[in-house]
Structure 1
Amino acid sequence: MSDYAPGSGDGSGHVIADLRSDTVTRPMPAMREAIARAEVGDDVFGDDPTVNALQERVAALLGKDAALFMSSGTQSNLCALLAHCGRGDEYIVGQLAHAYRYEGGGAAVLGGIQPQPLDNQPDGTIKLADIAAAVKPDDAHFARTRLLALENTWNGQVLPAGYVDAACELARSRGLATHLDGARLFNAAVASGRPVAELARHFDSVSICFSKGLGAPVGSMLAGSRELIRRAHRARKMLGGGLRQAGLLAAAADHALTHHVERLADDHALARRLAEGLAALPGVTVTPPQTNIVFAQVADDRGPALLEHLRSRGVLATGLIGLRFVTHLGVDAAGIEHAIAAAREFFEV
């Protein structure tokens, strides 16, 4: 069971269902108690026992040799790119992937690493033929293609297992390393019924997030070989990511891993209920959700007006790429029913 109080929103008492993202959750008593009890040390010296234990736990969960605590998913992905690639190298990535589109261009700006974005298909995959064609020959005219980066989940969708196998095999056959942005990898595991280690096994590095879905206030983790993590540790230092008594944060992440993974199925069920309710409204087209993210399109450019109406009724969502609603441990069934009723009211006016 979650220890989060649904409907607490932004603290004003007026938000009934905050569906902007699964990052809006707040640590409630049990997690705060875990933070307060955490044994800490100076992690820059490598002697914070709570951080060390969490890194070992995540490495084992993902089937990797080592892991490194990061302050954010953006930092984790960037450290992975810097560990895999040097200046003048290139990574192949989806045009709509988070690591390419929503992380400030860090690989290019800070690492001199050229992204080679390719079109994502509706299910988040990148065509194998497109990947193969994008690998550059060993020629001074071209950046050196070093890495394939995939994302799971992608817009809430679980990458097909057969596709991941084939894409990673293609990468290996062309001498490329592989990185997985698995910010919501536990959502993918729960939705598919497969262990996270199985979802991660083909990748040389994997990034997971504790503040998306799992409900921790801060933190991500990068896992891979010991040598890759050694290089990522150096990159993290350059990026200002050396933290001192980080065990306070690691304790929250550890609590989330222990108590908030299996309950992700509840978020997925609420997303399906929300999608069902929205799809019944006139002029609304909904992509059936696989995990905790619901996308909806509203006819006649009424999306912004619907968002504003929902806000006036205590329901928050985003509209950057269609209407986007994300369920999480801070939203309960009553909040979802309220959101559906508020949307229905908009179309009945």
Structure 2
Amino acid sequence: MTSTALSAPSRSLLRYLSRGVNSLKHRHEAGVTHFVRSYYESGKPATGCQAESARTIDLRSDTVTKPGPLMRRAMSEAEVGDDVFGEDPTVNELQQHAAKLFGMESALFCPTGTMSNLIAVMVHCRERGDEMIVGDLSHLHIYEQGGSAQLAGVHSTTVTNLPNGTFDLDQLESKIRHGYPDPHYPRSRLVCVENTHNIQGGRVLPLAFLKELRTLADRYGLMVHMDGARVMNAAASLGVPPADILQYCDTVSVCLSKGLGAPVGTMLGGPEDFVKRAVRARKALGGGMRQAGILAAAGKLALSDMVGRLQDDHRNARSFAQALLQCDPPIYQVDLAAVETNILRFRVSAEGVSPAELCARAAVVSEGEEQALGQGVQVLMFPHVGGSVRAVWHLGISEEDTRLAALKMQFVAQQLARERARAH
């Protein structure tokens, strides 16, 4: 039986791929959009079984998580007040808990990580002509719409991110500029790091690097902000409390709505005076929420009950990576040493197969798949920078899901091999 019906995540993936997937260092060949659209809409890949009955394994991002029953109950029963007045008890409890967990004086509940990072930049760089130094592959530099320049009037200069997410400290030192007495230059105020590093595949910044960075920053009077959207993953990987990582930073932004499973929210931590200024910046950006305890209740559960399960995501990501290396024919390229947390980047070496095409094939049910695998499986992933594919594990992906996803990738490898054999 043939069907071209797609799940909502699959349709979302189609829209994403059809936009061309144009990001830094990522330029797909002409015709990808046409291929992806025709592959989804022609009906060809859906033969064999109904797409609606397929098992969908969504590895696009750990942002797709949904709150479970306990979290929903906590949200429904949350005691609330007006947080702009500082009167929401649940928000206040969350902020106190986060500050203690991070080893910092204070913390602020913000709607999003993008806003939280922008607030940090605004508070650290208070004068026009101030400058921050960021990695050239950092989320803050690439994926946050240049908000530091657009909204905060802060200039950015970049250092080259290394494969492990760090950067060369000598290069960093060469970028530090002080505006006085020479009026030509901006004033360096802030260094931003990202941990774990998204584009580099969830890499964990070594503590030794952070310690050296702190020493250098202190020498020049610079502040250090960590985009720690997934710093809890970093802590789980290193086997240390998050405060052991954050002792080398002045401020941090920690996302609650990725692997920790909350629907909304990011915590911005730092000194008490910093957070007081951050409250003003949050209000100016429209982030002052009222009865926000409904959301904060989910955040409390995320930081208390969900941290311990992050190792499951790391284990499943590594298991999938190992399975890719065992596929026959061996068309997947994986650096196992770089699989440190819940993000996996891999490449496909099959002739003429782009990351976009591989993702399209993985996301649909093909003829003969149900017979080969026992059921239809749709694996949702994204083409990524540098000609790679990105897959991300989260609380919605079980060990069994991981096993089925690996079987699907084996099926795709064999499907490509059969097509190549027929072509020759």
- Normalising by the smaller structure, the TM-score range is over 0.9
Distance 1:10 1:304, change over 3 A: closer
Q: TM-score scaled to structure 1, two decimals? A: 0.95
Query: Is the CA contact (8 Å cut-off) linking 2:98 and 2:303 kept in structure 1?
Result: no
Match of 2:411 among 334, 345, 349: 345
Q: What SS does the aligned partner of 2:307 have?
A: coil
The change in CA–CA distance for 1:293 and 1:53 in structure 2 (over 3 A counts) is: same
- Equivalent residue in structure 2 for 1:311, among 363, 377, 393: 363
1:154 aligns with 2:197: yes
Aligned to 1:96, what secondary structure does the other structure show?
coil
How far apart in 2 are the matches of 1:219 and 1:15?
29
**Segments of 4+ moved more than 6 angstroms:** none
Say if 2:71 and 2:301, in contact at 8 Å, map to a contact too. yes
Q: Secondary structure of the equivalent of 2:144?
A: coil
The answer to whether the aligner puts 1:280 opposite 2:323 as a matched pair is: no
Task: Write the distance in 1 (CA, Å) between the matches of 2:62 and 2:308.
Answer: 16
Amino acid at match of 2:288: G
Query: What is the aligned counterpart of 1:107 among 148, 166, 174?
Result: 148
- The match for 2:48 is none
* Structure 2 Cα separation of the partners of residues 194 and 271 of structure 1: 20
| Secondary structure of 1:315 counterpart | strand
**Sequence identity percentage:** 45
2:266 paired residue among 207, 220, 235? 220
| 1:16 and 2:56 matched | yes
What count of residue pairs does the alignment treat as equivalent? 342
Counterpart residue identity of residue 296, structure 2: A
SS in 2 for 1:16: strand
Q: Deviations over 1:218-248 (max 9, x none)?
A: 0001010111111111111110000000000
AA in 1 matched with 2:340: Q
Amino acid at match of 2:343: I
Residues 160 and 167 in structure 2, CA contact (< 8 A), matched pair in contact too? yes
Counterpart in 1 of 2:218?
172
Q: Partner amino acid for 1:186?
A: M
Does structure 1 residue 199 correspond to structure 2 residue 245? yes
1:296 aligns with 2:359: no
Gaps of 5+ in 2: 1-6, 11-51, 365-376, 416-424
Counterpart of 2:422? Answer: none
> What is the CA–CA distance in structure 2 between the aligned matches of 1:98 and 1:133, rounded to whole Å?
22
Equivalent in 390, 400, 403 of residue 324 of structure 1: 390
CA distance in 1, matches of 2:166, 2:248: 15
Quote the offset at 1:280 in angstroms. 2.2
The answer to whether the 8 A contact 1:306-1:343 is kept is no
C-alpha separation in 2, matches of 1:34 and 1:167: 40
Q: Is the 8 A contact 1:25 1:328 kept in 2?
A: yes
| Whole-angstrom distance in 2 between the partners of 1:9 and 1:338 | 20
Which of 289, 293, 312 is equivalent to 1:243? 289
Contact 1:17/1:335 (8 A) holds in 2 = yes
Which structure would you say has the larger Rg?
2
Supply the AA of the counterpart residue of 1:311: A
Contact 2:190 2:225 (C-alpha < 8 Å) held by counterparts? yes
Separation (CA, whole Å) in 2 of partners of 1:274 and 1:202: 33
Aligned equivalents of 2:226 and 2:139: distance in 1?
Answer: 11
The 3-state SS of whatever aligns with 2:384 is coil
- The runs of 5 or more residues in structure 1 that have no matched partner are 1-7
Q: In the alignment, is residue 58 of structure 1 matched against residue 98 of structure 2?
A: yes
Amino acid at match of 2:113: G
Task: Report the TM-score, using the length of structure 2 for normalisation.
Answer: 0.79
